[in-house]
Structure 1
Amino acid sequence: MMGATSIFNNTNFLAKDKLALKNVRLETGFEYEEDEVIATKTNLFYIEIENGKISKISPNQPNAKAIDAKGFLMLPAFRDMHIHLDKTFYGDKWQAVRKRTGGVKGMIALEQKIMPDLLKNSTFKAEKMIELLQSKGTSFARSHVNIEPTSKLQSLINLQKALDHKKKTFGAELVAFPQHGVFYTDSVPYLKEAAKMDIDFIGGVDPFTIDGAIEKTIDFTVQLALDHQKGIDIHLHESGESGLKTVEYLIQKVNENPLLKGKTYISHCFVLGKLDKEKQEAMAEKLGNAEIGIISTIPFGSLVMPIPTLYKHNVKVFTGNDSIVDHWNTLGTGSVLQKANLMAQLYGQTTEFLLSRSLRLATANILPLDDKGNQHWPKPGDSADLAFLNAGCSAEAVSRISNVESLIHKGNVVF
């Protein structure tokens, strides 16, 4: 694809199910001045990949017959954990966002009008958007996919075709997403059908605003997830009392059904950014205890999410691009590394140590070094999902949003 400078342009050393790479830069520890981390130590290594996994990591062998990684920094491939691959303008003619009327329900009416046309070439456009994500170092995404009376199951079917075409170089998990409400437009029969298909999560959106019933909608979502052994990932934009009640009720239901712990997420959850510090701490503690994750698109301006507080209470925090170019938003870049950079800016995480910690937002919580500077990744047996960046260390990669030179997914060269 787009990798004119890719280390894999010379394919002489590519063997079936096996790769060997030399001059691979890996982080090895922190350099301290008194008690402060002032730099990240790196060294060059020789790495072998076999059957989609890292099989060997050894001191560099500069004279070996192997692909020359040219000293590029190897990081875990990035993961976009909130995106809508099924409905996009990307890969088609440019269209700016139209003036919104009627809030989210107004957008539902717009979708009911435009979805039939969007679906005509949605497989092609999804593939183009996947290629954009890959160019930014991402090899995995959690995609929400419309399940509602207008699209029925067609949006899911079309996206699954795109993912099948890209299965060697891209991975995904899918959320059955009732964008038009569970009950506001009768999406129930389609959600029940989708739950029997190859999806991973049952989704939702603003139960009070859209369906007018927090408990009824959450109860349905929870039961459907339990019945089909799925996770839950609910869009929650409501930032007032209804948003808070929705979070509290979901926490209650997850605690009542421990099978959902570690499998339940709230996307956006803007209400957390509206709480005072004391309430943020209390809510973060409850979320952590219930093992409910937050997927934040890192809003800024008047609404800044309490991400450091969530981390403090061991809440899993992921991020994603959400929209790239569609009827909701046209400002997406496809880069989750940029999201990590934005987080570092918003929370003043500008030291070597804090910048290096910020990388976990782009990698879904995988870091090369632990907080004490011990090498945590990679290890033999790890999946060979690898991004090669023109950076000296992860702190620089986050700070500079460094260029991705090459990408590997499960041992398969993407570019």
Structure 2
Amino acid sequence: MNTTATHPMTNASLITNVRRTDGARVDVSLADGRVAAIGPDLPREPGVRIEDGAGALLLPGFVEGHTHLDKTNWGMNWYCNEVGPKLTDRIENERRWRAQSGHDAGAQSLALARAFLAAGTTRLRTHVDIDTEAGLRHLEGVLATRTALRDVLDMQIVAFPQSGLLGRPGTDALLDRALGAGADVLGALDPALIDGDPVASLDLTFSLAQRHQKPIDIHLHEPGEIGAFTLGLLLDRVAALGMQGQVVVSHAFCLGALPERERDALLARLADLRVALLTTAPPSTPVPPLKTCVERGVTLFGGNDGIRDTWTPYGSPDMLERAMLIAMRYGLRRDDDLALAFDCVSSTAAHGCGFTHYGLQAGARADLVLIEADTLAHAIVARPPRKLVMANGRIVARNGTLAQD
């Protein structure tokens, strides 16, 4: 697949004989990179390219709501992980290893982004380290990847201070430059436990975001009461500054460990301020309650976090696998509950990240996946190779392999 050249969009095509998740047999008409119509027996117009779906299950392109493309060792030799148990151990180990090894964020982010495409992900939010030692080097590499894949992968970049905002002088100036250089979202990290001053940290974060008119996506690993305290301070600032619908709280482990009354009060504020939550559904850490969030009107979506990097040997660019892991973490077994897990890596993730024109309806961007599976639940648990992936109206992969232009 030639990811750097821009080609004229095929004006119109028709995918025939596919099944929606409700079992209905339909055709999908595409024009100028958008879904034109979905329905049974759509007309075959002269000159329209026809693709026979052969009864495959039709799904929208998947959404990765939280990953770190710049960190990955995808496709490289195995990294032997001997890092210590603390968060700061992982941060310092990663910085040291990336500097010593010459890790190339551009090449590695491109390799993993292409793997995401082959597996059906067409929208993606990635956090990129902004570091006082590396400067904007990692950002520059991921910006190059976004440019290379701009015709097929809708990528948001978060400028992320992996060591926190206050502890390394000059970080705020680098974040300021990163937002000016093309980062879409401002990141942050544990204002109390990493920065040591949640008021000053949040004030500076929101000031930067307001200056650039950018949304915020904060890593909040802080547990229990201290996490709840930080979350409350953050929500105060969302309300005071009118940033409703512009903030994501990633991880939010505290919401999985608080007493129900305190938790529900925070969920009510999150819903009222339209602050979304992101979970990777880790197996051994408290997580926000999925069904309670849905019932209370809180957006909770999913992502991988890091994939095959110095932090973790785990992760995969297959968002159906992440949906399965979400389902397992929350004890979801019924087919309708598995559909809720799929929402976390599709429509709910698109909403949480602010990706527009998403879905399988007329006018949406033509991002779709065909897969050989009986039902959506079957697709999540079996995760067969994607028969066909289309992004922005272009065929980008067949049978799990990127197409060649």
TM-score range, shorter chain: 0.7 to 0.9
Using the alignment, how far apart are the partners of 1:377 and 1:299 within structure 2? 27
- Relative to structure 1, the CA distance from residue 118 to residue 228 in structure 2 (aligned partners, 3 Å threshold; closer, same or farther) is farther
Task: Report the equivalent of 1:125.
Answer: 108
**Does structure 1 residue 184 correspond to structure 2 residue 167?**
yes
**Cα distance in 1, alignment partners of residues 102 and 18 from structure 2:** 42
Query: Aligned-residue CA RMSD in angstroms?
Result: 2.3
Task: Determine if contact 2:125/2:158 at 8 Å carries over to the other structure.
Answer: yes
**Structure 2: distance between partners of 1:378 and 1:104:** 40
Contact 1:298 1:304 in 2 (8 A): yes
Give the drift of 1:76.
Answer: 1.0
Residue in 2 that maps onto 1:257: 241
How far off is 1:400 after superposition? 3.2
- CA drift at 1:218: 0.5
Residue 303 of structure 1: aligned partner: 286
Change (3 A) 1:278 1:332: same
Partner of 1:410: 392
**Is the aligned partner of 1:20 residue 2:34?**
no
**2:144 is the counterpart of 1:161:** yes
Shift of 1:355: 2.3
Describe the superposition over 1:6-32 as per-residue Cα deviations: whole angstroms up to 9, x where unpaired.
xxxxxxxx98243221112223xxxxx
- 3-state DSSP of counterpart to 2:126: strand
Match of 1:47 in 2: 28
Secondary structure of 1:248 counterpart: helix
Quote the residue 1:115 is aligned against.
98
Distance 1:206 1:355 in 2: 31
User: CA, structure 1 residues 118+69, in 2 after alignment: closer, same or farther (shift >3 Å)?
Assistant: farther
- Bigger shift: 355-364 or 110-119? 110-119
Match of 1:199 in 2: 183
Q: Which amino acid letter does the alignment assign opposite residue 43 of structure 1?
A: A
- Deviations along 1:344-376, one digit per CA (max 9) or x if unpaired, are 233343223222233201104289xxxxxxxx9
CA contact (8 A) 2:254 2:287 kept: no
SS of corresponding position for 1:298? coil
Per the alignment, in what secondary structure is the counterpart of residue 71 of structure 2? coil
Match of 2:5 in 1: none
Distance 1:112 1:340, change over 3 A: closer
Q: Contact conserved, 1:295 with 1:317, CA < 8 A, in 2?
A: yes
After TM superposition, the score normalised by the length of structure 2 is 0.88
Between the aligned partners of 1:97 and 1:292, the Cα distance in structure 2 is 35
With over 3 angstroms needed to count, the CA separation of the structure-2 counterparts of 1:220 and 1:19, relative to structure 1, is same
Larger deviation, residues 334-343 vs 288-297: 334-343
Asked whether the 8 Å contact 1:389–1:404 carries over to 2, the reply is: yes
1:56 matched residue in structure 2: 37
Matching residue within 358, 361, 364 for 1:379: 361
Q: Deviations over 1:289-342 (max 9, x none)?
A: 111111100012353431211111111112111111101111112222222222
- Alignment partner, residue 221 of structure 1: 205
Gaps of 5+ in 2: 2-7, 351-357, 398-405
Query: 3-state SS of the aligned residue for 1:325?
Result: coil
Q: Indicate conservation of the 8 Å contact 1:396/1:402, yes or no.
A: no
Structure 1 unaligned regions, length at least 5: 2-13, 28-40, 368-375
8 Å CA contact 1:236–1:268 kept in 2: the answer is: yes
Cα distance in 2 for partners of 1:296, 1:155 equals: 24
Distance in 2 between the 1:211 and 1:225 partners?
18
Amino acid at match of 2:270: L
Distance 2:126 2:32 in 1: 26
Write the letter of the residue equivalent to 2:392: K
CA distance in 2, matches of 1:68, 1:233: 41
Contact 1:178/1:204 (8 A) holds in 2: yes
Q: Which residue of 1 aligns with 2:270?
A: 287
Query: What does residue 400 of structure 1 align with?
Result: 382
The residue aligned with 1:38 is none
Q: Is the 8 A contact 2:164 2:195 kept in 1?
A: yes
